[in-house]
Amino acid sequence: MDLLSVLGIILAALAIAGGHYLEGGQIEQLINVPAALIVFGGTFAAAAIQSPTDEFSRAVKLVGWLFRGPRFDYEKGIESVTNWCVTARRQGLLGLESQAEKETDSFVRAGLQLLVDGKGPDLIRASLEVELVTREQRDLQGARVIESMGGYAPTLGILGAVMGLIHVMTNLDDPAGLGSGIATAFVATIYGVGVANLLFIPLANKIKSLVLARYHYQEMMLEGLLSIAEGQNPRAIQLKLQGYLK
């Protein structure tokens, strides 16, 4: 799990609740189930309406992927490619079959399998670049679904506030309750603006960053696999791939 993301969300909640409390407010004033239903329910509904089913499902999976804390160890990747090159020189490309079975990254595993099958560099590049670019574009589109929620949430917050004020205006015969009623109405605005700027938009941007980081890492691994297919020596491959570390 991405500890930094979790800590960020907790800190954001504490900052809002703590600031409200220091100004003399009560934490209970920030809890409003109808407002939460309007903002969160409406935001997810709007995102579902605008997005095809597969894009919405991918957005949900990307959030889970983010909190699993994906890591891309470039140095370890370079070391792996170098070792694969040594194995291929000593045992032939068929010697990489056992390495392919152990590889957890499906993209890299597919590349190793293509090497084992004796495919040439051009075919390997053509096969893997399609997957590389397609996955990047689909994941970025999923991130944009989450980003769109950051646009809908504040508007739904205003809608919730207006609905709350309508409810207050229908009870003008109870002046003592007007103040608390108006305060409760604006909780929806806090929810909308808060989750947009402290949750949805930051999550979308972080997912975009991780998608691009994964693309960069897998591009490096692809270059390494192509170098093995071309018969380059381990040292030359290592020097080439170290350019991705800069």
In the 3-class helix/strand/coil scheme, how is 115-133 assigned residue by residue?
HHCCCCHHHHHHHHHHHHH
What confidence tens digit (pLDDT) does each residue in 38-68 have?
999 999 999 999 999 999 999 999 998 887 7
pLDDT at 227 over 90: yes
Over range 31-40, report the average pLDDT: 90
Lowest mean pLDDT segment, chosen from 4-18, 36-50, 174-188, 205-219: 174-188
Residue 1: per-residue pLDDT: 53
Burial class (CB in 10 A: 0-12, 13-18, 19+), 32: buried
Lowest mean pLDDT segment, chosen from 18-27, 136-145, 198-207: 18-27
171 CA to centre of own chain: 45
In sequence order, which ranges of 170-233 are alpha helices (DSSP H)? Answer: 178-185, 187-195, 201-229
Over range 72-76, report the average pLDDT: 91
pLDDT at 208 over 80: yes
pLDDT at 166 over 90: no
Tokens 């004796």 belong to 118
Residue 169: per-residue pLDDT: 80
Report how far residue 109's alpha carbon sits from residue 218's, in angstroms, rounded to the nearest whole number.
11
pLDDT at 246 over 70: no
Lowest mean pLDDT segment, chosen from 4-13, 169-178, 230-239: 169-178
Over range 80-93, report the average pLDDT: 92
Task: Specify the pTM.
Answer: 0.85
pLDDT averaged over every residue in the chain: 89
pLDDT at 180 over 70: no
In order of 82, 125, 149, 228, 242, the CA distances from 59 in angstroms are 35, 28, 11, 35, 33
Over range 175-180, report the average pLDDT: 66
Confidence of residue 3 (pLDDT cuts 50, 70, 90): confident
Cβ pair 115, 225 in contact under 8 A: yes
Lowest mean pLDDT segment, chosen from 34-38, 157-161, 183-187, 193-197: 183-187
